[in-house]
Amino acid sequence: MDILKQLFEQHFHAPVERVQALQGQLGGSGRNILRLAGGKLSAIGVLYDVREENVAFLEFSRHFRRHDLPVPEIYAEDLSHGAYLEEDLGDTTLFEFLSKNRAGDNIAPQAVEAYRKVVAVLPRFQVEAGRDLNYKVCYPRGSFDRQSIAWDLNYFKYYFLRLAGVPFNEQALEQDFGRLTKFLLNASRDYFLYRDFQSRNVMLRDGQPFFVDYQGGRKGALQYDIASLLYDAKADLPPALRQQLLDHYLDNLAGFVEGGREAFMQHYYAYVYVRIMQAMGAYGFRGFYERKPHFLQSVPYALNNLRWLLANVELPMALPALMGAFKSMVDSEKLQGLSSETVALEKTRDLASEAEKLTVRVFSFSFHQGLPKDDSGHGGGFLFDARSLPNPGREERFKAFTGKDEPVIAYLNQQESVGQFLASVRSLVDASVSNYQSRGFRNLMVSFGCTGGQHRSVYLAEQLARHLRDRNGVEVVVRHLELEKLGK
């Protein structure tokens, strides 16, 4: 905090008299956000230790202001300490303004007008400012590409579907993910994608919108951001208003992009779906996994959006496994019962506690790419080096396959050394699982590494996961880090 005070005093030439933590703006980002004030002067100070994300936010902010877009002015920065000082835009988000100016689906004209101003500005970010933006500073990806889509889809699969107990056929779901990804990538993706364009990231000051939290921006498709805003779960916009605002956005977009509505709408609802899945992955990660129940209160609103889409939208490709999972979700009384408006918070906590089994996270990875990160905060666990085992990746006949494919599985099953290795792993992990359960621990991490991260480590992770799923009180989450990068 001292560094923020120094930045304030250097910029304003006045002392800091008051400091206020803005917990409501923290969300799930991990940033420490403070309001610093002295006399009639005030500023927002941010402390965050991810340098790349800070660089992206500062670079984007200055770029957008050069285009006269309504974003906060950057007053001062000290990247060596992960600190910067920006303009104070007040306390009213678009979401809060909407909440105060509605009664159910009856939304007051002033709130509708605020949304109309927001969607009218969006094309300027996407097209006008996107043309000469320095995409080299984007973090963690320069574009919303195949890898970005794979991250979002796997986020949804592992942290929502798995942890919420929604049934699905993994192979069939992966095939649907592949078809959906191919279709999404057919859309034009030469624009700025804000990435988190939702009602809590728009501030209203004197009736005018100002935009924040675009540090995750990258090059991408036009459809994603307007989908993010209009299907923002807790904003719960009525379908008629969503359509009205979409029409207003497209009217304004026409001044920047040729091609017409038909080309835009061809891919629009596919991006609506992928954005909803990304958001639900976040709800599951923060709610089920990190046991922060208030994140789960957005789930029923997202389910309502899915229910409307299932009834009113037909995508131009068949996705039977994915649509089956969505149908199971919207039919789930357990998930629908998370609404903060209809059920007390205790019920949310009750469902979150169901996820408080022992969660065993099993990873496969390549030693060339570094070790898996422990996001649980628990630390410890097991890391097994599979490089001493026979390597299918060295044989031409196996190069196109992974450790999830039958030819590789059959080959490794025949290797005595692999059987001995796996038996030892099971013995060690079983003992820890029993001990952790008896002591009420919630997380255990088991990682398998090999050279390429595609054959031996994947096989071992899958075999251990299958073994552990037979145990009571154990939730198994499997991630294959190298396969995720390759979209496999």
CA dihedral 309, 312, 315, 320 (to 10 degrees): 70
Q: Going by DSSP bridges, is the β-strand pair 358-366/202-205 parallel, antiparallel, or unpaired? A: unpaired
| % of the chain with per-residue pLDDT over 70 | 94
**What pLDDT digit, counting tens, does each position of 26-51 carry?**
445 568 899 999 999 999 999 998 99
Give the H or E element holding residue 19.
strand 18-21
Residue 336 clears pLDDT 80, i.e. is over it: yes
Confidence of residue 23 (pLDDT cuts 50, 70, 90): low
Q: Answer positive or negative: Cα dihedral of 207, 210, 211, 212.
A: negative
What is the average pLDDT value for the chain, to the nearest integer? Answer: 91
Contact indicator for 390, 461 with CB cutoff of 8 Å: no
Determine the pLDDT at residue 22.
Answer: 83
| % of the chain with per-residue pLDDT over 90 | 72
Determine the pLDDT at residue 247.
Answer: 97
Determine the pLDDT at residue 184.
Answer: 98
Q: How far apart are CA 234 and CA 466, in angstroms?
A: 37
Which segment, 73-87, 375-389, 400-414, 463-477, is predicted with the most confidence on average?
73-87
Which of 204, 208, 244 has its CA nearest to residue 226?
244
Of 313 and 295, the structure prediction assigns the larger pLDDT to 313
Give the start-end residues of each E strand in 372-486. Answer: 382-385, 443-450, 474-480
Confidence of residue 55 (pLDDT cuts 50, 70, 90): very high
And the tokens for 194?
């804000």
Q: What is the DSSP string of 69-81?
A: ---PPEEEEEGGG
Identity at 283, one-letter amino acid code: Y
Determine the pLDDT at residue 341.
Answer: 40
**What pLDDT digit, counting tens, does each position of 211-266 carry?**
999 999 999 999 999 999 999 999 999 999 999 999 999 999 999 998 778 999 99
Confidence of residue 148 (pLDDT cuts 50, 70, 90): very high
Confidence of residue 191 (pLDDT cuts 50, 70, 90): very high
Contact indicator for 33, 26 with CB cutoff of 8 Å: yes
**What pLDDT digit, counting tens, does each position of 347-391 carry?**
444 454 454 678 899 999 999 998 998 877 776 789 999 999 999
Contact indicator for 458, 402 with CB cutoff of 8 Å: yes
Domain 94-354 in this protein, CATH class = alpha beta
Determine the pLDDT at residue 289.
Answer: 81
**What pLDDT digit, counting tens, does each position of 260-279 carry?**
789 999 999 999 999 999 99
Q: How far apart are CA 231 and CA 360, in angstroms?
A: 33
Determine the pLDDT at residue 286.
Answer: 86
CATH number of 2-86: 3.30.200.20
How many Cα neighbours within 13 Å face the side chain of 283? 26
Q: Going by DSSP bridges, is the β-strand pair 106-107/102-103 parallel, antiparallel, or unpaired? A: antiparallel
> For residue 465, how many other CB atoms are within 10 A of its CB?
16
Q: Please list the residues that pair with 446 across neighbouring strands.
A: 362, 382
Q: How far apart are CA 338 and CA 479, in angstroms?
A: 27
C-alpha distances out from residue 180 to 169, 266, 377, Å: 16, 13, 34
Give the H or E element holding residue 63.
helix 51-66
The residues spanned by each domain of the chain are: 2-86, 94-354, 358-486
Single pTM value for the model: 0.71
Contact indicator for 110, 66 with CB cutoff of 8 Å: no
Of 275 and 21, the structure prediction assigns the larger pLDDT to 275
Confidence of residue 344 (pLDDT cuts 50, 70, 90): very low
